[in-house]
Chain A
Amino acid sequence: MKIEGTQKIDAPRALMFAALIDPAVLQKCIPGCEQMEKTGENQYSAKLTAGVGPVKGVFNATVSLEDIIAPEHYKLVVEGKGQPGFVKGSGELNLTDAGSATDIQYTGEVNVGGLIASVGQRMIQATANMLAGRFFKSLESEMKAQAKLPADS
């Protein structure tokens, strides 16, 4: 399953990119990410509680950042396993300047397996879009919050 889109976020590209590879920011933005621990260079283990509405599952996940070309491109890979099955998502993010803001163009591939794959067919695409939407929404508020902080922090 594919997800793609473009998101404009009101933050300069360098700052934007720095945030996108910052584990603290990622933890806040990856929907349902409860904890994230470094396990290696750009590798993290995470616990995700993800789903829609009352239908949620707990996933033990790995998060890795690949193909980093600052400040324009990287690949975010999240793989999780849990009782409802497994989720694998990878997204290529490309950042371009849009005046003082940044355009983030993303294309991702999401695969699910197990229970969610066998019962969730009709909602999977919408869920993936929704989770991507949440990611960027959180990112936007994170950037807003950062903008309010003193520049040197």
Chain B
Amino acid sequence: MAEKTVGKPIKRTEDPRLIQGLAHYVDDIRLPDTLHAVFLRSIYAHARIKSIDTTAAQKLPGVVAVYTGKDVAKIGPVPCAAALPDLKVPDHRALASTKVYFVGHPVAVVVAESKSAARDAVDLIEVDYQELPVALDEEKAADAKSPVIHEQFGTNVAYKLTAGEGDIEAALKSADQVIKQRILHKRLAPIAMETRGVLARYYPGEQELTLWTSTQIPHLCRTQVAIMLGMPENKLRLITPEVGGGFGSKLNVYAEEALMGWISMQLNRPVKWIEGRRENMQATIHGRGQTGYIEIGFKKDGTLTGLRYNVFADMGSYFQLLTPAIPTLTGLMLSGCYKIPAIQINVTGVFTNKMSTDAYRGAGRPEATYVVERALDLVAAELKKDPVEVRRKNFPQPNEFPFKTATGLFYDSGNYQGALDKALKMADYTKLRQDQQTARKEGRLMGIGVSTYVEICALGPSAAMPAGGWESATVRVEPTGKVTVLTGASPHGQGEETSFAQIAADELGVGVNDVTVIHGDTAIVQYGIGTFGSRGLAVGGTAVYLAIQKLKDKAGKIAAHLLQVDASTISFAEGKFTSSAAAGKQITIQEVTLAAHVAKSLPEDMEPGLAATSFFEPKNFTFPFGTHIAVVEINKETGEIDFQRYVAVDDCGKQINPMLVEGQIHGGIVQSMGQALYEEVVYDDQGQLITGTLMDYALPKAIMIPHLELGSTETPSPVNPLGAKGVGEAGTIGATPAIVSAIVDALAPYGVRHLDMPLKPEVLWQIINKKSAGAA
């Protein structure tokens, strides 16, 4: 009997192949006769294409084809799944034809026998552009005087949307005080370690197309690419080999995916495109990108009365899969983990001459948490109260769950006090505040930041999702007793090959190594939705669990038949079926499996085999939460930030594997530190992307990260039988406000109450320097 593993920190079974370089990414798949594609991309942010001359490129030895916009007009538009009222949807084609809208916009693609021939040919394509004025800043671009990007709309405003419940005007009026604050969420680049890549192979005889692509959503991508190509969906097989990170950037359907399929069909040869890092910066979606205005109303005792958030959301020039929907998630989470009787969000989605924004780890929710947490800090500062006290004052109590927010959500379960208390204790908060007093007396700039957050995970009930929010699993016990799990979720770094195997192993009484988890091949795995929105375990894992229950039910009946007892007397534990009617008799799952497959003695009318499929539809989202505390000291002479402590207590419901949970939290916090301190996609005033490489776009590195002290509480979710909530995005949601808050707190002696990210040392130094100079 194998040892139970659920709840234990077992090592990831996928790691050995990753660490040893034995994994296969798209670029590792080599097919004979493969052609290579390289794109010519716009170097202008906004221009009319007067002419394109590909003659010289076509003549270069090794070049097989050069395609421009008009050649690929038959390929359908790049899909946007977000449906919003009165949404203006630009016609987004695989290649630009009359105008280019952003630096990186694909204009032509060269297909050649070698990568270098294709790349050489790109330089030979002559494009005559007529430059046009640019619209870059989301707020200014919304103005009627701005240059218009999509002429047919006559405006850059893609949509306006108001959401929220309660009488916001009355709520703000009833407040003792209202604070307003402008707040920026700069654009970030997701920077998956593996850039995008596509390999397409058309089989003309079978009229089938196989697409290897680095995506988080193999099935949805298959459906959409089939529609774009006008081919039967069941003639398209989509395979995601190893995916080297996505962070939302591969929760998408990209022009390049359909285009490679189309080219392979034109040329009857495999064709491969591997995105370069500079391309990845320019033409893979960005995250965040909001300019917002907060209004928060509150009573003298700190009780919140209402919150309004007016926000200009930067769409970029086109919609990708979920672009316009991302700010709506911000709206959903504006209540944070607080009771706010009235909430309103007014979103203006704005086209700009930049790459599209879309889901990046957290997708709209980090923005919400940041807004709410900054707002609470402002309230605390105004009332001269401890920020912890103001938070506590507004928490719903554990017995108030499911808790209804003024954004229309029902939080499943929670104990916000519990996580906060634990974090305060770990950090020794009272002592920290005393230390801060001492530091201030000594003229040192020490700051403490606390963020209490809640996030919306396990996306989601289908009713709330653009394309279904369920997940699928098939579990098979093979004749030899080995277990195969086919999951519609598509793990790409989260460790679900391990956690799903743990669930299956424990449920079936086999070892984790007896279980294989298969995903990411539409010809093998039943239709599924994919991995994003911290849904893998809570939705996909639940499907695995439920499939196993069905399977065990059937196995139980076979066991009863073999033990010659009534099925109602059968119970299953530790891999063995026993019967209350026949003491001492037992039969193992392996024996039952074999019997199910040789099928010589099965209950009447029972089908042979032992496999079951489940499509799990969750009834609600889940709402993980926690408290993050950052402690910093800022160097007065240079503005450099020294992290003294970082404490995080996260509650993601039941933990299947605490080591995976820690890994996700670590990664999330690190990305948060990136956002808070370093990262920013910068376009200059001409729309040139000047953080074009990793020499300028600063990703946090291990040496830049302080020791992270992690703790957790476990409040099970009632939404699924695993009690799991999800943890993939928690770190990026909880950490950013804590870090900013700590830095702002450190600078409080200079009268600072808010600063916009990224908090580069120079920004801090300028404040310290100017104020000191002013005081002197």
Contact = CB atoms under 8 A, between A and B. Distances in A.
Interface of A: 83, 85-86, 111-115, 117-119, 121-122
A118 B282 contact: yes
A118 B695 contact: no
A-B pairs, 6 with minimum CB distance: A118-B692, A114-B43, A117-B688, A121-B690, A121-B696, A113-B43
Contact of A117 (B123, B692, B695): B692
Given A113-B103, A114-B43, A117-B688, 12 more contacts: A86-B43, A111-B684, A111-B688, A113-B686, A115-B43, A117-B690, A118-B103, A118-B282, A118-B693, A119-B693, A121-B696, A122-B696
B260 to A, nearest CB: 24
B570 interface: no
Interface string B682-725: 00101011111101100000000000000000000000000000
Contacts of A85: 43
B686 A118 contact: no
A119 B692 contact: yes
22 contacts: A83-B123, A85-B43, A111-B688, A113-B43, A113-B103, A113-B686, A114-B43, A115-B43, A117-B43, A117-B684, A117-B688, A117-B689, A117-B692, A118-B282, A118-B690, A118-B692, A119-B278, A119-B695, A121-B692, A121-B695, A121-B696, A122-B695
Interface of B: 43-44, 103, 123, 278, 281-282, 684, 686, 688-693, 695-696
A119 B692 CA distance: 6
A112 B45 CA distance: 12
A117 B686 CA distance: 10
A51 B704 CA distance: 34
B687 to A, nearest CB: 9
Contacts of A83: 123
B40 to A, nearest CB: 11
Contacts, number: 41
A121 B688 CA distance: 11
A60 B114 CA distance: 29
A112 B281 CA distance: 18
Max chain B C-beta neighbours (<10 A), residue from A111, A112, A121 = A121
Given A85-B43, A113-B43, A113-B44, A118 B688 contact: yes
B281 A118 contact: yes
A85 B123 CA distance: 11
Contacts of B103: 113, 118
Contacts of A112: 688
B189 to A, nearest CB: 12
A122 to B, nearest CB: 7
A117 B282 CA distance: 12
A112 B691 CA distance: 13
Given A85-B43, A113-B44, A118 B689 contact: yes
Contacts of B691: 121
Given A83-B123, A113-B43, A118 B684 contact: no
Contacts of B692: 117-119, 121
Contacts of A114: 43, 688
Contacts of A119: 278, 692-693, 695
Contacts of B690: 117-118, 121
B187 to A, nearest CB: 15
A121 B281 CA distance: 14
Contacts of A115: 43
Given A85-B43, A119-B278, A121-B691, A111 B696 contact: no
A122 B697 CA distance: 11
A153 B692 CA distance: 51
B125 to A, nearest CB: 11
Interface centre among B43, B44, B684, B692 (most CB of A within 10 A): B43
A135 B551 CA distance: 81
A62 B67 CA distance: 30
Contacts of B693: 118-119
A86 to B, nearest CB: 7
A111 B690 CA distance: 11
Contacts of A111: 684, 686, 688
Given A118-B278, A118-B281, A113 B696 contact: no
Give the residue among B123, B278, B684, B693 with the most A Cβ atoms within 10 A. Answer: B684
B720 to A, nearest CB: 45
B689 to A, nearest CB: 6
Contacts of A122: 695-696
A117 B581 CA distance: 79
Nearest to A124: B690
